[in-house]
Structure 1
């Protein structure tokens, strides 16, 4: 992979030159193939990468022909994609880098040069996910940053060692910006130049919202940590050749409509169109009205309407940002969806799912309906089933010596955060100008509301400050708390105790409003049941109102301080012309130069961090953050023969829709968990536990956190919780403790599951954790494809029940001993026999010969290590 051709390259005849022969590129027009002219532009990117990287092993001429034959092969052929680079954030990046460091140890133990272990694909790692909000309101953001740097010093030392020890690794230090913001402003090139060849920029990243880069005409999407490691180590991403849907934008944007309203509108249309797993390409006269930030905001929401990418081909808007251009020429698509931008109106999304849009004009009525709806009819997606006698309850409480009241719908969290739309200057400036006009009108935000402003990067703070709106944000309580993911991943400072007590006393449906993209019940705070996604200006508006139960058209936000005049939202909402003028005056090229300076200079703390000067990492065995994993223990140079699984026990007996949230540890570490017991044994206090994300570089913590979700439904137990039944003893234990006993007794383990096993966000520990628990196979009715690939990548067999069969139809109790017989040679999609007193068949979900190779090696990490040996 990343193979730059010689004369023997099968497509060397396509090479052309630029700049007097100094730069080469593959001229696909030289194919002289009529199929090429009909390909959508996103598919052409796949084609160019396949041609350039055609090495006869990972990428074959057959793959190139399949892509050229896209019209017949879409949704059928599996093709490889070799992206130009890999993007990591620190939560998912640290286990990848720990694995590389451990691989260097393994290579060195066999007498080989550890310098051989380096990423083959350029990799950028952005340290942005360790920020927690310890201080808010009028406390300066510097305190949060100091806490972040002190709390994570060991991790930062390791990252700095990685930046020096490994080739092709670029580490962006903390306090520069959020991963996608930095990707947009600094890392993206549209065109890459390497080893004398020029080719399209493309990227895979360890975050589902990597897709926002498609707004700049750069093909990219999110993959799991295991897949990203494979790409780093030279292996392409395998994907089914996608169908491409054309999205034609027509009409004129309403001046009062923000890009977030357009995003939510397009999300609704595309979700209803059923485009799961497809590429979307935008074209039509409406495209030229969207700025580059507008496009990246739309592309960012891909996961919410289940498209793989939403691709805006490069045009003059991309190159010059806010200049108008001609319409894009439509290519052949499997279908065309037309969306009229004139129909877009302000919306929010919630209270529990991003697809549940609510027009702002209907918000009050909709929340009241949610309060009355029974879960029997809405299955909990919108309803809260508040009894009639409690719907109008008011709970008084004291805060800072003053009495306030909370009711259903009261806003207690209002966060303008970095994840989704801080990349768009128009909405951030609209929010800032709204804050300015609110302050000038004498409006205030109640002091008990947990407000925060987490800009996506220093660029955002720069233009908010230059435009003069930042002090007004601050006066309303929206103080800059730092740079990095915060509220959307649950890193919100605790609510005041009196607020929490009032919510519990009245069993209130308190609300959070955030400009993010994740807002499931309890995610922001366990006592906040209703959360709404909103544009930044609407976050400020609802914070001023103090409730979501307001009709902005008919009810005032408050009264002007001096005159007592009622102030309505329309009185302080800035005009589109005012926002555009402010944007032109402040969002200028010097801002990007400022970011470049921050990137290159780092910060004092980062610059002063000392790290080892060594080829292999000197592991500190006392560290609870960084630990060498056991993936390479007993690594031999020879490939071991296939080993059948004999007399395995079932570790977990699971039902349908087990998600990666159930499997992979995330968020805070519960004080009664197996991970907490481990940390306590290391003499840490609960205050020092930090989070699973921060400790992803310690396999001892992460293995104990695997299947530790309090919402895990294990049929052995019969109620939610991270417990299972240790069958030999009959005891109910933590999942880790049961697995530890099985491994001590030399008993292999399997998992039984239902439909859609492994759906949800991609996470590396969804496969690494089970592997270290001793799981050798998962038998399910169906798998989410990405997770199936992750299991293969760790040497775990994904086995599927035959059609119309499952654990119940086969009368499995989960208490049986299972033997899975493997033949001497495996083939893709081969049926295997499972014996447990009686026999039944399953299908081994190995899709390609490469899958079988990875499995035989015990996963792709061992495969790469053996290749080096």
Structure 2
């Protein structure tokens, strides 16, 4: 916490007695007494932000005007000025945490080179780093899978783990949760988050709300507990850790009113996929969403956390769930001390942060409503979380997808023939153009799904209960265990080509599944524990069976993955799996049994039992009462207390690491995992004048929904791509490549991997997928990295042209860092995802937006022009610049673009070449 308790211009500081202790708070109701705000009309999320400003006033970073501006929030009048948000803590996972640690270590090294004191470079705001993103599903379907995966994890990641082990001791104010402890957001929800802090400050006990930013977009899961927080770029998180405010525009708040109750057979996963679809259609980018209504009160907290987790999928900054008695019940269930729970209740009630029964509903910028009794069991896919498919429509929609795939192939590859689609028909696929298509008219197939035993289009080759999104909910996990029990008792088996895995986000899950005697049934279907980490959800699905892989590649099959995760973007889950579907843990088990997504689980049998009798999903689906009974009986507070009692100690593998020590990190020039980044080497203390971008070429011309997975892949590294070639040149064999995500501490790998997704479609090279571009001056086609280096060698600046939603997905700082290192000076898109835009600014890359109604197509741009971007020397927040594009014949087109720098401080970040560059200059000047 920054500031001093003595700075109180509004007279809001007050001492209360809570549980026999004198506790200081900064009272929001004082602002109401002064006539500055009507608290009951404010959304709860805005109230928490207001308290943050009120408590942190220092006259410099946070001013009285900041408080007054936010206090004036109303649905019709959202303040236009940015506010300086100072969160109480920062949370990181290891994929984004390693580069954060490496950057701060590099700033320490630069500080020493520049004559400053490197010991002064420490996190100012407390930070927790949870190592959860590195373990992969190499082994599965056996009792030894978890142990083997964890040993392999340490073998692969020893250098990365050594730098984190070093950071744990070298930096003040940083804690590290070692591998095999759980997933960052579930550990945060179940243990790390206090909801209300009680700390000693200036000899007083100060209480204030828990707030945070995190280097993972699904940091929003903690909103389910009533904690204000969201994902930011790794670069921004580093700046916050080092004491810089997070500057943000005051958000609109969309109210989401829930009514009714979920029906039998419908889960919170089905609810959130419905909410994702609704909010994507409504449009909530850069907005808060806040849940309320009578239906909200029927949701247990873990199910609220499912809703909050997927805020990035519906596009919001966060999805906030206000505190009520259900929140406190969850804190008790997860082993929080009663004394602290009493403090939370009293503090939230004193501050108007507790959702009381009968309290007036806040006013919102806009409101949506959903009757939860109308929600159907569903999936989402094949490549976007917002594309919801009711299970009864799954087969029909998959066939339509296949028809579009084959027709596209025919146009592109087969010169207008339909032989590829014909092969699909020959292999048992239905002709979706025929009026007799059985799924259209609800006719049940004569055969059971058990009769489909070969790998073909639509086969489920990955079925994974994975991700904190759904494994955080005991009702969902108990439901999966009970469904497995019912299936095994009917004699059902999972198809042999399905790679099954159970990767929960917390050790507590296996405790209660074992206590309930449900693990044996999951294991009977191949859902053995493979590790405690993100695994399949982030693409660490590991290799498929070799026979299955050969079938897919030889026949160019469109096969499927069904996972209980939150992302299903192209190329993310497994490079051989083109269709990825998000589903509840129960439906993951169901589709593993069916072995195909080409099925209507409402009307068709999921399989046949050993006697040839058809078994339908409804026959094995557990009832609500059974799930609730198992949850109440077997999920106990002492389980949470036991598992989290030594969470920072780690396993023997962690404790035995031979990690370096000392104030400065000893950079190893031969390491292929950790290298000192170039951002602070030969660091100039002065800044150059901002200049126009002249004679720039386009490195990539891309369409809509280009994700950070496309820009900065986290999956496997191909031998024939620049990153793979670099590793081979360093003596690394292919089996030891690991993943892009695991090598984020080495800029040499990451810049070569930027725009390295095998599914990337760069329109400069039509007909090709992957990391390809054209070196425009000669017309030569080549990989993006060598082309970019050729431009850099010739002092030619680069730009990216893009469509809508550029940079959606995970909050990957390397999507911006890699872009900058490739020599890209600006990105012109139709719209940006919030975090990626911020990351670009943080790295000194200029984000620009086409005006509404204009785009690459309307301007008839080919991407082979040269571009001048004029007016940069006099940048203004949200102003305009002029762009002149000249083709090879000298013909020009002029158009304007909007500057996506939202404040004067972002102009300063851009002027300095990035946020950390400004921080280092300011730190040296302050010495």
* Shared fold (TM-score, shorter chain, > 0.5): yes
Q: Please identify, of 445-454 and 809-818, the stretch whose mean Cα deviation from structure 2 is larger.
A: 809-818
Answer yes or no: is 1:90 the counterpart of 2:94.
Answer: yes
Residue number in structure 1 paired with 2:226: 217
Q: How far 1:581 sits from its partner (Å)?
A: 1.4
Structure 2 residue 389 is matched with structure 1 residue 340 = no
Work out the CA distance in 2 between the residues paired with 1:609 and 1:169.
18
Distance in structure 1 (CA, Å) of the matches to 2:862 and 2:58: 47
Question: Residues 58 and 375 (structure 1 numbering): CA distance in 2 closer, same or farther, change over 3 Å?
Answer: farther
Q: Is residue 688 of structure 1 aligned with residue 754 of structure 2?
A: no
C-alpha change, 1:798 and 1:566, in structure 2 (3 Å) is closer
Alpha-carbon distance in 1 for matches of 2:558, 2:372: 34
Aligned CA distance change for structure 1 residues 8 and 497 (closer, same or farther; 3 Å)? closer
Equivalent residue of 2:458, what SS?
Answer: coil
User: Given the two structures, how large is their TM-score scaled by the length of structure 2?
Assistant: 0.85
The structural deviation recorded for 1:647 is 5.1
Q: Could you tell me which of 140, 162, 165 is aligned with 1:160?
A: 165
Of residues 682-691 and 506-515 in structure 1, the stretch that sits farther from structure 2 once superposed is: 506-515
Which of 183, 196, 199 is residue 208 of structure 2 equivalent to? Answer: 199
Q: How far does the alpha carbon of each residue in 1:12-33 deviate from its partner, in whole angstroms, 9 at most, with x for none? A: 5434444577532110111113
**Is 1:387 the counterpart of 2:421 in the alignment?**
yes
Once the two structures are TM-superposed, the CA of residue 477 in structure 1 deviates from its matched residue by 0.7
Question: Contact 1:81 / 1:236 at 8 angstroms: preserved in 2?
Answer: yes
Query: Could you say which residue in structure 2 is the equivalent of 1:859?
Result: 914
496-505 vs 155-164, greater mean Cα deviation: 496-505
* Residues 388-419 of structure 1 deviation map (CA, whole Å, 9 limit, x = unaligned): 66335159xxxxxx994334433222111124
**Do the aligned residues in 1 keep the contact of 2:195 with 2:227 (CA within 8 Å)?**
yes
In 2, the alpha carbon distance for the partners of 1:499 and 1:218 equals 44
CA-based RMSD: 3.2
State the 1:121 CA deviation: 1.4
Is the Cα–Cα contact under 8 Å of residues 572 and 709 in structure 2 kept in the other structure? no
> In the alignment, which of 803, 808, 819 is matched to residue 760 of structure 1?
808
Rounded Cα–Cα distance in structure 1 between residues aligned with 2:121 and 2:410: 51
**What is the SS of the residue equivalent to 2:741?**
coil
Residues in 1 aligned to 2:261 and 2:801: alpha-carbon distance in whole angstroms: 49
1:186 aligns with 2:195: no
Structure 2, unmatched stretches of 5+, are 334-354, 412-417, 430-450
The 5 A counterparts of 1:15-94 are: 15-18=14-17, 22-31=22-31, 32=33, 33=35, 34-71=37-74, 72-74=76-78, 76-94=80-98
User: Which residue pairs with 2:634 in the alignment?
Assistant: 586
Q: Does 1:654 align with 2:709?
A: no
Please give the secondary structure, in 1, of the residue aligned with 2:710: helix
CA contact (8 A) 2:572 2:715 kept: no
Which residue of the partner structure matches residue 318 of structure 1?
327
Q: 1:602 to 1:284 in 2, by over 3 A?
A: same
The aligned residue for residue 150 of structure 2 is 145
Aligned residue in 1 for 2:129: 125
SS in 2 for 1:167: coil
Deviates more, 1:286-295 or 1:714-723: 714-723
In the alignment, structure 1 residue 496 sits paired with structure 2 residue 499: no
Aligned to 1:608: 656
2:108 to 104, 108, 124: 104
Query: Per-residue CA shift, 1:111-156, capped at 9, x if unaligned?
Result: 2221100112111111111111111112431000000011101110
Cα distance between partner residues in 2 of 1:784 and 1:560: 48
1:464-487 Cα shifts (integer Å, max 9, x gaps): 111111111111111111111222
Deviates more, 1:114-123 or 1:322-331: 322-331
Distance in 1 separating the partners of 2:777 and 2:681? 28
Q: Which residues of structure 1 form unaligned runs of 5+? A: 396-401
Q: What is the TM-score with the length of structure 1 in the denominator? A: 0.91
Q: Secondary structure at the match of 2:138?
A: coil
Partner of 1:474: 523
- Out of 692, 716, 722, the residue aligned to residue 674 of structure 1 is 722
Q: Deviations over 1:161-189 (max 9, x none)?
A: 11111111111100000111111111111
Distance 1:755 1:11, change over 3 A: farther
Is it true that 1:252 corresponds to 2:261 in the alignment? yes
- Between the aligned partners of 2:542 and 2:288, the Cα distance in structure 1 is 38
Superposition map of 1:716-735 within 5 A: 716-720=764-768, 721-726=770-775, 731-735=780-784
C-alpha distance in 1 between matches for 2:613 and 2:49: 60
Deviation at 1:11, TM superposition (A): 4.0
Q: How many residues align?
A: 855
1:327 deviates by 5.9
2: CA distance between counterparts of 1:537 and 1:636?
A: 57
How far apart are residue 728 of structure 1 and its match?
Answer: 5.7
Name the counterpart of 2:470: 421
